[in-house]
Each structure stands twice: as structure tokens, then as C-alpha cells.
Amino acid sequence: MLHHPDQADGLFPVDDLLPPAPSGAARRPASATAFRDSPAAARMLDVREIHAEPEAAASDRGREIIARFPRARVTEVASHWRIPQLHGDEGNAARWVRVKTETLVLGVKKTLSLRPNGRSADWIAPGPSNGCAMACAYCYVPRRKGHANPITVFTNTGEIVGRLARHVAAQGPKRAPNQCDPAAWVYDIGENGDCSVDALVCDSTAELVAAFRQWPTAKASFATKFVNPDLLAYDPRGRTRIRFSLMPAADSRLLDIRTSPVAERIAAAGDFVEAGYEVHFNLSPVVVRPGWEAAWAELLRELDDVLPGAVKEQAAAEVIMLTHNRDLHEVNLEWHPRAEEVLWRPDLQEAKRSENGSWNVRYRAGAKRAALERLRGLVAAHAPWLEIRYAF
């Protein structure tokens, strides 16, 4: 029996909340038919190099991952936070995409804390990964780890699930509806990565979906830009919200490097609802550039035209204006300068020093307010069924 202070006011005995790990974790297709074993998946992730903390490498999850990529060279590292040849080398900017395709890091997540959020979710959960195999030009995830930030998989998913179980039990039922959800406490499990891509590596996403399936007062949520059909077999029973991130196709082709095309994400929405997910949309980031309003209007009309009624009935969206960063701007100029033509707009943006000392760049208040109002108007005109949960 687990004991923890969080449990004091809990609704359920914690042990009842812990799912039977392997059998409940993955009702995915047999590996012969799994998408993650397909050539398409290998184009996203073709692991040749694994940097592993010793404890992570020795764990069941670590051994499973190392066995899954037999061609990869495994190098021991003291900490997943400090891998100078990966994170500290600016020369890697030129090899950014290759590093993300060919390198994995295995670590143990030490801090299993939750943070209140109130926007995308009620709580930011300790996630099963940090870093990403995709390479969106505006991504904030590399800001903390440095230039090349491939996926770090945390091998102690069981501890993460246990921590979440205790937290869910301690909260009890949601006391009042809010924009995150009318009835469930929402936990963002993918703040620093993309859970759909993590599912190409191991069953951590499946385990979390299986855990939330058993928690009637809570819901998992994660944003994604990658369509991984293996997730359709996870049986979430309405307790996981997947948020497909959308932006006009032309912006996405320029900025969302290595992601699934926007049309593919939209086309997948119906399948995910049918498979038991709640499907929301992240209209983000909104990038102000010449012609942006017409492009968003076209995207919203496309949603209205192609989404089945079952998606529209339960859909909601969050709208997030672009935030950029001066250091990332400098890095991008080395490998993807065309992206900076739309991301870096000193005529519209202002810089603000962040807590870690770097300069974040955002649209000036007046310009941002006007753009948000315009986007709300476009949603009302072209996709009136799409509730905007929040716009920021």
C-alpha cells in the first residue's frame, strides 16, 4: 500500500487507481502491424545514438528501448541535463534535424512535481519526455536544454503514474466547471515534448492513457503535431484529450519542420473521436504576416467543410499568439533563415527578459489584442461551432 500526504483527503485508495501496468498499458496492434515499426515511422526516428544515464539504461523500460534500436551506439552519461556534445554545441544547429532523427536520451525524472496552470490544463503533470524529434522553428522546448534537443525519454513512467494517482486522489471531484473542462481535472502530460512521437519509442504514452482511463475525476491532455495511428488502439474511453495543433498550411510548411501535414491532422480528428479520445484544437501559434487573416479564414472554412459532426459536437480550441525568443532567432538564422522572415518582426514585437535571463519576444499588447479579436471574429464567421476555451 502506498502512503503519501496527498492521499489524506483522497476519494479513492491509491492502489485502486494504479492501473495494472503492462496489460492495461497497451492495447496496441501486434508489432507486425504497428505504425511505429513502419518505414514512415523510421523517417521520423532512426535512432543511431543513445545517451543513457546508467539507472535509466538498466531499467526495464531502458532495456526495452535499447533492444528496440539495435543499431544504436549506447553511451553512458552522468545526467540527461548535461550532454555537452548535444546541448552545448552551437555547431549542432546545422545538424539540428539529423540529431533529432538519430539521437535519443534516456534519463530518470527526478522531480515529479505538478504545477497549476489554468490555461491548457488545470495542472501541468510531470511528463514522460523532454525534447522532440520534430523541429518547429518557434519551439520553446529547446530553450532550457540548448540547441539540439532530441527526445529524452524518462524511463520511470511508473513513478510518474504513481505520483499522478496520488494527486488525482487528493483532489477529489472538480468543485466547479472552468474553461479547462466542465467536470474533470485536466492534466497536461506533454508540456515539453510530443506524446504521439514518444509513442514511436516506447509505451509511455500508452501507459499514461491507460492510467487516466481509470480515473473518473481526471483527464489527460496533450498537444500534438504528429498523427500516430498506433494511438487509436489505446482505448482512452474519453479520459484523454488530444489537441491537434493547427495553423494555415503555408505557415506550417515553412515553420512546422518534420510534423504531419495540417490536412492529415484534420483528417485524423474523426478517427480519434471514434477511438474514444476527446479531440480539441490548438490554433497556434498565430503568426502575424502579410495575408494571415485570409489564410486563417481558409483553414477555418476547411475545418467546417471536412470535420464530421461527431468532432464538431465536442471540439473546443485554444488560441495562442506567437512568442519568440532572441537566442532562438539567432540559431534559426543559421539553419532556417526563411522562417525568421515571418517570426522575427521587430516592427510588431517587443522583448521582455524571462526568468532565466533570455529575451522573449512577443507581439506588442495593442497589436496582439487586435489580432486576437480578428481571429475570434474569423472563428465566429467560419467555424461558429468551435468554442474558444481561451485566447492568449
Task: Tell me how far, at minimum, the Cβ of 29 lies from ligand SF4, in Å.
Answer: 24
Beta bridge partners of 240: 220
Q: Decide: 363 and 122 in contact? Cβ < 8 Å.
A: no
Rounded (5°) CA angle 85-87-89: 60
Q: Which stretch binds ligand SF4 (CB under 6 A): 51-59, 66-74, 129-137, 383-391?
A: 129-137
Distance CA 153, CA 104 (A): 8
Q: Decide: 213 and 19 in contact? Cβ < 8 Å.
A: yes
The residue whose grid cell reads 522553428 is: 137
**What residues between 37 and 56 interact with ligand SF4 by CB under 6 A?**
none
**Contact string (CB under 6 A) for ligand SF4, positions 348-387, x = contact:** ----------------------------------------
**Contact string (CB under 6 A) for ligand SF4, positions 216-255, x = contact:** ---------x------------------------------
**Contact string (CB under 6 A) for ligand SF4, positions 134-163, x = contact:** xxx--x-x----------------------
Q: Which is nearer to ligand SF4, 14 or 342 (CB)?
A: 342
Buried-state track 224-262, b at ≥16 Cβ within 10 A, e below 16? bbbbbbbbbebbbeebbbbbbbbbbbbbbebbbbbbbeb
Element spanning 34, H or E: none
Q: Could you tell me how far CA 286 lies from the centroid of its own chain? A: 17
Size of the site for ligand SF4 (CB under 6 A): 10
Q: Which is nearer to ligand SF4, 168 or 220 (CB)?
A: 220
Task: Tell me how far, at minimum, the Cβ of 380 lies from ligand SF4, in Å.
Answer: 27
Q: Which one of residues 19, 107, 127, 193 is an interface residue with ligand SF4 (CB under 6 A)?
A: 193
Task: Tell me how far, at minimum, the Cβ of 188 lies from ligand SF4, in Å.
Answer: 13
Amino acid identity of residue 265, one-letter, is R
Contacts of 352 (CB under 8 A, 6+ apart): 359, 360, 361, 362
**Contact string (CB under 6 A) for ligand SF4, positions 304-343, x = contact:** ----------------------------------------
Task: Tell me how far, at minimum, the Cβ of 193 lies from ligand SF4, in Å.
Answer: 5
Q: Decide: 244 and 279 in contact? Cβ < 8 Å.
A: yes
Distance CA 225, CA 229 (A): 13
Q: How does strand 123-124 pair with strand 129-130?
A: unpaired
What does each C-alpha distance from 75 to 4, 96, 102 come to in angstroms?
36, 20, 14
Q: Which is nearer to ligand SF4, 36 or 100 (CB)?
A: 100
Task: Tell me how far, at minimum, the Cβ of 147 lies from ligand SF4, in Å.
Answer: 13
Task: Tell me how far, at minimum, the Cβ of 367 lies from ligand SF4, in Å.
Answer: 23
What's the number of CA atoms in the CB half-sphere (13 Å) around residue 9?
5
Distance CA 89, CA 368 (A): 35
Q: Which is nearer to ligand SF4, 7 or 358 (CB)?
A: 358
Q: Which is nearer to ligand SF4, 63 or 329 (CB)?
A: 329
Q: Which is nearer to ligand SF4, 109 or 225 (CB)?
A: 225
Q: Verify binding: residue 14, ligand SF4, rule CB under 6 A.
A: no
Q: Which is nearer to ligand SF4, 152 or 259 (CB)?
A: 259
**Contact string (CB under 6 A) for ligand SF4, positions 57-96, x = contact:** ----------------------------------------
Q: Which one of residues 53, 122, 194, 203 is an interface residue with ligand SF4 (CB under 6 A)?
A: 194
Task: Tell me how far, at minimum, the Cβ of 39 lies from ligand SF4, in Å.
Answer: 21
Distance CA 210, CA 213 (A): 5
Q: Which one of residues 50, 66, 105, 132 is an interface residue with ligand SF4 (CB under 6 A)?
A: 132
What does each C-alpha distance from 246 to 8, 147, 231, 315, 366 come to in angstroms?
41, 25, 19, 13, 24
Q: Which is nearer to ligand SF4, 139 or 266 (CB)?
A: 139
Q: Decide: 123 and 188 in contact? Cβ < 8 Å.
A: yes
Binding stretches for ligand SF4 (CB under 6 A): 132, 134-136, 139, 141, 193-194, 225, 259
